Structures are given as C-alpha cells and as structure tokens.
Chains A and B, each alone.
Chain A
Amino acid sequence: MSGIWIMAGVTVREAGRRKLLWMALLAALLFLAIFAVALRLQVLQFQTRSMSPFLRYQVEGGMLMVGLYSCDLLAVVMTILTSIDTLAGEISSGTIHAMATKPIARWQFLAGKFLGFVGMIAAYVAMTFSGTIAVAYAVTGVLPEHPLRGALLILFECLLALSLTFLAGTRFSTLTSGVLVLGLQGVSLMGGWLEQVSGFSQSTHIVSLGVACSLIMPGESLWRRAAYEMQTPLAASLSFSPFANVSIPSLTAVAYAGAYLLVVLAVTVRHFNRRDL
C-alpha cells in the first residue's frame, strides 16, 4: 500500500512544483474577488429602490446559486486541465518506464495518482465553495440550504470528470484525451439544459434527448441535484431561474452516476493493466 501513498504524494508535489496548484488557486481567488464585488454592487443597487426584504432575500439567494454554479464549472474545468496530462503525458514521453518497473502493481500506480488528485480537488472545492458561501453571507447574509450535500455532489461531479481523464489518458494522447473529456462535459451540459428546457416546453422528445445525454455523461445532473439541495424551496420553485426545480435529478440518477464512476475506474484499471507501455 505504501506505493499508493508515495505516488499520491508525488502527484501533489508535481502539481505544486509545476505551479498548476498555484495557478488554480489564483484563479479561484480571482473568481471569489469578482463575485464579492459583483454581489456588493448588486446589494448597493437594491438599496436605491424599494424591494420587500423577502423578495430581496430570494433574489440574493439566486445570485448565490449563480456563484456556486460558477464555482462548480471552475472546479470541473480545473479538474480536467490539471489531470489530463498525468497519464497520457507519462506514457507518451516514456517517463512511465522507470516508474512502472518498480515493485508496485499498475493499479496501485493509478490509485496513487488518482488519490493525489482527489485530495487536491477536494481541497480546491472546499476552498472555492466555502469561499463563495462566506462572501455571499458577508455581503448579503444569505446562506444555502444543505451546503454539505451540495459540496459533496460538486466534488462527486469533479471525480466523475477525473475518472474520465484517467480512462482517456490510458488510451489516447494528452490532446485527444482533453478533446474527448471536454466534449463529454459539453454533452453533459447540454443534457442538463435540455432536461431543464423540457420542463417548460413539455416535449417528451427533448426530455428523452436530455436523459440520453445525462446517461452518456451524468456530471451536470449532479450539479442540478446539488442546486436542488442548496436552494430555498421558494427560489427553486421560481421557474424563471436557471436552477429551477422543473427537472430534479432523482436519487436514482445520483446512484447511476456512482455506478458510472465505478465502471469507468474499473475499465481504466483493466485497460492500464493490459496495455503495453
């Protein structure tokens, strides 16, 4: 087992030394600063007009959701960009030759790298997520419902993207892997919005298409479930919101995403174990 922890440590150290970690943190801090300024400007705008405290609270809650959605997108994109080269790059450059001949099984090599990224992504999500909530609370006094559930679902979505970058990395070059995983992320995003739109249009064909997209890549459905968990019931029921509860992914959809993650990891390990290096 020590091989796993050594590889996990190396993965974190590499992200630090190659400045990936610091650039991601810088982007997160920039995002939080912009969010804080935007929110403050909006609050100042509210003070110039008469608005009921109840409605104001709901609108500010909606803005918090926009912030958390941005935080979710940022975390997923950072997950893909920081991890896309970790396997594909080492395989294509030959760096892996000296590593894979050490007395650790290939699955341990993968598990170590995966755990290293899980640790970094979890810290990143915790920082950006709690930062967004802290900024919103400090500026508006608004708090989300069930923030822990929301954070865990966002982390889950990142891990789904991470598992796909690992799977692609065992088969394709860095560039091809990046195109593939970002493409799947696009399919997922489209699926989420199609399901959302279907709530308004009542079209069964659009629902089917959206569901099919979410089955191909269920990442976005995890965000929509997270949004459902974090919104106040009233804000969620306002159908003009992009996070409205017109199509809430069920717990079955979350379980599907869990099974999807496990299958992707199992296929990754199987392929990496069998492939020539």
Chain B
Amino acid sequence: MSDNGFAIETKDLRKAFGSTVAVRTLTLQVPRGEIFGFLGPNGAGKSTAIKMLLGLVRPTGGQAFVLGAPAGDVEVRRRVGFLPEDFRFYDWLTGAELLHLHGRLSGMSPAALKDRVPAILDLVGLAPHADRRLRTYSKGMLQRVGLAQALVHEPEIIFLDEPTSGLDPMGRRLVRDILRAERERGATVFLNSHLLSEIEVTCDRVAFIKDGEVVASHELHPSAQDEVHVAVQATRVSPEAMAGLARWTADAMREGEVIRFGVRSKDVLPDVLRHLVASGADVYGFTPERPSLEDLFVRIMGEDRGL
C-alpha cells in the first residue's frame, strides 16, 4: 500500500490492550476529497482506530497509511488536522493565542497566521471572542475553537471526533457548511459522530464498524443509476397491472393500498408510473424511498448491548 489515491488506507489494522481487543482487523479505504463517516456503537473501536491513524496509539498489527505515508509520520502531520473528542486545551490561552500556537506547531509562519487567525475565527463565529481566555468559553464555543485549530493550517485531511456534540442547531449547521467548504477545497474529512442525521446529510460515504471490524460500507448519495425502492399508494390496481411490473422489478409486493418494489435505476420510474395509470389504477402517491441511515445502522449493528 502507498500513495494510490486514497487519503486513508488500512489493512488488517489491529490494536489489543492486553487481552482486550479494541480493533480486530480494520481494513478501510477512504478516497481523497470525500466526507467519510465512521459509524459504530460505543466500544466498537472507532476512537482507537482514529488514534492509530494519527499515531497517538501504536497498532499491534496490520498497516495504516495516511496521505500515502505510514500513519503517524511526523512530516505528514503537517497536512493533517484533528479535533479530538472532548477537545481539551490550554484554557489559560485566549482563542486567538490557541490558534497561533497550533498554527505555529503546524509549521505556519507568524506572518501567515496574522491574517489566517482572524479569518478562521470569523469562519467559526468566534471573532468577537478572540481575546477571551478559553476557560470563559461555553462548551459550544470550545467546540468551535477546536474545529478552528484543526483547520487553521488548511490541512489535506481532517479527522473530526464528534465535532457537533456540544453544538446547538445553528452551530451544527455552521459545521456542516464548513465541512462542505473543506470538501470543495479538496480536503478529505474523516468524521466520527453518533449523530446519524448529521452524518446522513454531510457525508458522501460511511463505514460501519462493529467489534473492531468494518462490517459494511455505504454510499449515501447514490446516482440515478443506482437501485432505488418505491412505495406507490394506489387503488383499483388490477392483477394485470401487478403482473406488468415484472418488466422493471421482480419483487413487487402489495399491502392494502401500498405497492412496494425496487428498480435498477431511478430513470425507469416515469415508465412504471405511466404503466400503472394506463392499466386503470388510481395513483395517489409515488415515492422513491431509501432506508434511513438509522434503519441501516440498527439493521447492521443488531441489538443494543448497553455499552
């Protein structure tokens, strides 16, 4: 494995703390320029996996590459941003001083930071609070300044561990907009969050991790060529009309006034609708549907284990 277009690539990555296996065999590929969601229940090994990718935790097996270099490589860290879960910092610094410190440690010059720090503080909505000590910040403000320190040096890949947990809806929207802007800039975002609704609207792709292994991955914004499921609310549907659906689908099922089926592509849906109307059915609803991320999560992860 090396620099072959993936921002992150791992193979059989493993971490055991004594007899406890935190990450079993993590094999993962994250394309560059995407917002990638990393999902799993508590104790699945998500945070340990992120720490291994950042060089904070030493793997006990397998390989991990970030931006083509072995995970934790000191020089590559110049191109990496990280917002840890429960971001802690030197609370005796002001917001602006914290960003200057992290910018300097990331290799930026004082001259470059002179313009960059006010700009990034403005971006996260903290410009009026730049000179306040961090110990006076609210939880949401700390989350915002934490995000700012992860972005201050314009990294190529950004790891965010629960970036919106302390934010109100406006703050979450802001973070969402910032992450999309980062993707537009060409950055890759690796997002670990419990807020499935946030993941659903923000990420391009997700991987589900369970017991330290990736058990499924899923593209969240399918193209017109991808399979789609439809729910049709209709009356007066004749057996011939149902049989005629076989041209597009093999799994049409009728439950009262609702017919459900899947088709290979969204492009065929107008033909399906025309067929039903032409065969005499009264159609009241025609809704392409996708299972929600939450449905998918529950289906993949199984029962709640109370972790």
A interface residues, Cβ below 8 angstroms from B = 2-3, 6, 10, 14, 17-18, 93-95, 97-105, 274, 276-277
Contacts and interface: CB of A to CB of B under 8 A. Distances in A.
B305 interface: no
A94 B84 contact: yes
Contact of B105 (A6, A14, A97, A274): A6
B188 interface: no
B248 interface: no
Interface string B76-88: 1110101110111
B82 A97 contact: yes
Contact of B56 (A10, A104, A105, A276): A276
Interface in B80-102: 80, 82-84, 86-90, 92-93, 101-102
20 contacts: A6-B104, A6-B105, A14-B92, A17-B92, A17-B93, A97-B56, A97-B82, A97-B84, A97-B88, A98-B83, A98-B84, A101-B55, A102-B77, A103-B75, A103-B107, A104-B74, A276-B51, A276-B57, A276-B58, A277-B57
A101 B101 contact: no
A139 B249 CA distance: 104
Contacts of B57: 276-277
A195 to B, nearest CB: 43
B54 interface: yes
A105 B76 CA distance: 12
Contact of A94 (B55, B86, B92, B104): B86
B164 interface: no
Nearest to B77: A103
A101 B54 contact: yes
A94 to B, nearest CB: 5
User: 7 closest A-B pairs (Cβ-Cβ)?
Assistant: A102-B105, A17-B92, A103-B77, A97-B84, A103-B78, A95-B88, A276-B57
A93 B58 contact: no
Contact of A14 (B75, B86, B90): B90
B193 interface: no
B47 to A, nearest CB: 10
A103 B56 contact: no
A101 B77 CA distance: 6
Nearest to A109: B105
B56 A102 contact: no
A10 B54 contact: no
Given A17-B92, A101-B55, 6 more contacts: A17-B93, A97-B56, A97-B88, A98-B88, A103-B76, A276-B56
Nearest to A5: B104
Contacts of A94: 84, 86, 88
B192 interface: no
Contacts of A14: 90, 92
